[in-house]
Amino acid sequence: MRPAVLLQYLLPHRALSRVVYWATRWTWRPWKDFLISRVVSAYRVDMEQAVVTDPRAYPTFNAFFTRALKPGARPLPDDPQALACPADGKISQLGRITGDRIFQAKGFDFSVAELLADAPDAKTYTDGTFITVYLSPRDYHRVHMPLAGTLRETVHIPGRLFSVAPFSVNAVPRLFARNERLVCHFDGDEGPFVVVLVGAMLVSSVETVWSGLEIPPYASSVTRKDWRERAIRLERGAEMGRFNMGSTVIFALPAGRATWDDRFAAETLVHVGSRIGGPVR
């Protein structure tokens, strides 16, 4: 096992994340400008797409990290039935859910029941389809709806905060089913679907447009919230949440609902709103 992976088993995940949470919100100009400039330079961040193009204009590093994009920067597919990518980043994996198993990386998979922390809900996705998108530090960190839906329930699941970078995904068994995460269940026009916002080492902070900051606080037990009485409907392409620092999104559909376009595979770069698939014909 690589030292960088072994170290993750030993580090105090939540304590480190709390420190970084506050450090990324510190308004002291020399500090926040230093962090922002380092990321812009190291990851070649395209600031011309942002509403605020001057990196020094952001009040904190986190404000820069969760920056909004200019209108039209991420157009939706012309086909109203097409599935839109929920996040900027790189595809970690995509394909069919084999029974109740989701492929993570060579030699590793995990069950839908583990991911959702609910065996009855997991049965909905038996032999369904999934896509996992990894967001790197250079990416736009807001998550958008892959198709229209009404929020039914969210489930905050406690867990570890392993890195979700490729070297960890290839080495840590069941990583996405072990990390702290927020499961968002939606009812779409053609049936249910789920979007899972997976936390990661160093912050693991998740916000939603309907509830604000969801993580932290970090959970000690599975926490469910029923949103049906609020009738929260979000259209395809609408912002649904954001990561304060990098992480991963998993989007899943039941069997017979959708197919992924042939041009996509693991390691393919993707952008919010771009077509990733369509309904089964």
Could you report the per-residue pLDDT of 74-104, keeping only the tens digit for each?
999 999 999 999 999 999 999 999 999 999 9
Residue 102 sits in which domain range? 83-279
- Specify the pLDDT at position 21: 86
Domain assignment present for 77: no
Q: Return the percentage of the chain with pLDDT > 90, whole number.
A: 80
CA distance 77 to 116: 29
Instruction: Check whether residue 46 and residue 184 sit in a common domain.
Output: no
Q: Does residue 3 surpass a pLDDT of 90?
A: no
Domain assignment present for 75: no
- Specify the pLDDT at position 130: 97
Instruction: Check whether residue 113 and residue 218 sit in a common domain.
Output: yes
What's the average model confidence in pLDDT over 35-49? 94
Q: Of 274, 277, 271, which is closest to residue 141 (Cα–Cα)?
A: 271
Number of folded domains in the chain?
2
Instruction: State CA 278 to chain mean position distance.
Output: 20
What's the average model confidence in pLDDT over 41-63? 95
Which residues form the catalytic set?
Answer: 88, 144, 247
Instruction: Check whether residue 90 and residue 45 sit in a common domain.
Output: no
What sign results for the dihedral spanned by CA atoms 164, 28, 34, 242?
Answer: positive
Instruction: Check whether residue 57 and residue 123 sit in a common domain.
Output: no
- Specify the pLDDT at position 51: 97
Instruction: Check whether residue 148 and residue 15 sit in a common domain.
Output: no
Domain assignment present for 236: yes
Domain assignment present for 230: yes
Among 16, 33, 65, the domain boundary falls at 65
What's the average model confidence in pLDDT over 247-275? 95
Question: How many residues can be counted in the chain?
Answer: 281
Confidence of residue 203 (pLDDT cuts 50, 70, 90): low
Q: Does residue 5 surpass a pLDDT of 80?
A: no
Give the CB-side neighbour count of residue 169, counting CA atoms within 13 A: 22
Q: Of 96, 189, 115, which is closest to residue 147 (Cα–Cα)?
A: 189
Provide the H-helix boundaries in the chain.
3-10, 13-23, 29-43, 61-65, 112-116, 119-123, 166-169
Q: Does residue 237 surpass a pLDDT of 80?
A: yes
CA distance 143 to 183: 13
Over residues 210-219, the pLDDT tens digits come to: 999 999 888 8
Instruction: Check whether residue 150 and residue 243 sit in a common domain.
Output: yes
Q: Does residue 281 surpass a pLDDT of 80?
A: no
- Specify the pLDDT at position 137: 86
Q: Does residue 246 surpass a pLDDT of 90?
A: no
Instruction: Check whether residue 50 and residue 95 sit in a common domain.
Output: no
Residue 195 near residue 125, CB atoms below 8 Å: no
Domain assignment present for 261: yes
Could you tell me the pTM of the whole model?
A: 0.94
Over residues 159-183, the pLDDT tens digits come to: 998 888 888 999 999 999 999 999 9
Q: Does residue 242 surpass a pLDDT of 80?
A: yes
Instruction: Check whether residue 125 and residue 246 sit in a common domain.
Output: yes
Domain assignment present for 73: no
Domain assignment present for 78: no
Instruction: Check whether residue 196 and residue 120 sit in a common domain.
Output: yes
- The strand ranges marked E within 56-167 are 83-84, 89-96, 101-105, 108-111, 129-134, 142-144, 149-157
Q: Does residue 2 surpass a pLDDT of 90?
A: no
Instruction: Check whether residue 103 and residue 143 sit in a common domain.
Output: yes
Over residues 141-152, the pLDDT tens digits come to: 999 999 999 999
Q: Does residue 65 surpass a pLDDT of 90?
A: yes
Q: Does residue 1 surpass a pLDDT of 70?
A: no
Instruction: Check whether residue 164 and residue 274 sit in a common domain.
Output: yes
Instruction: Check whether residue 27 and residue 128 sit in a common domain.
Output: no
Residue 246 makes CB contacts below 8 A (sequence gap 6+) with: 134, 135, 136, 137, 139, 141, 164, 200
Q: What is the mean pLDDT of the chain?
A: 93
Find the range with the poorest average confidence among 10-14, 79-83, 252-256: 10-14
Domain assignment present for 76: no
Confidence of residue 9 (pLDDT cuts 50, 70, 90): confident
Residue 143 near residue 241, CB atoms below 8 Å: yes
Residue 44 makes CB contacts below 8 A (sequence gap 6+) with: 138
Q: Does residue 156 surpass a pLDDT of 80?
A: yes
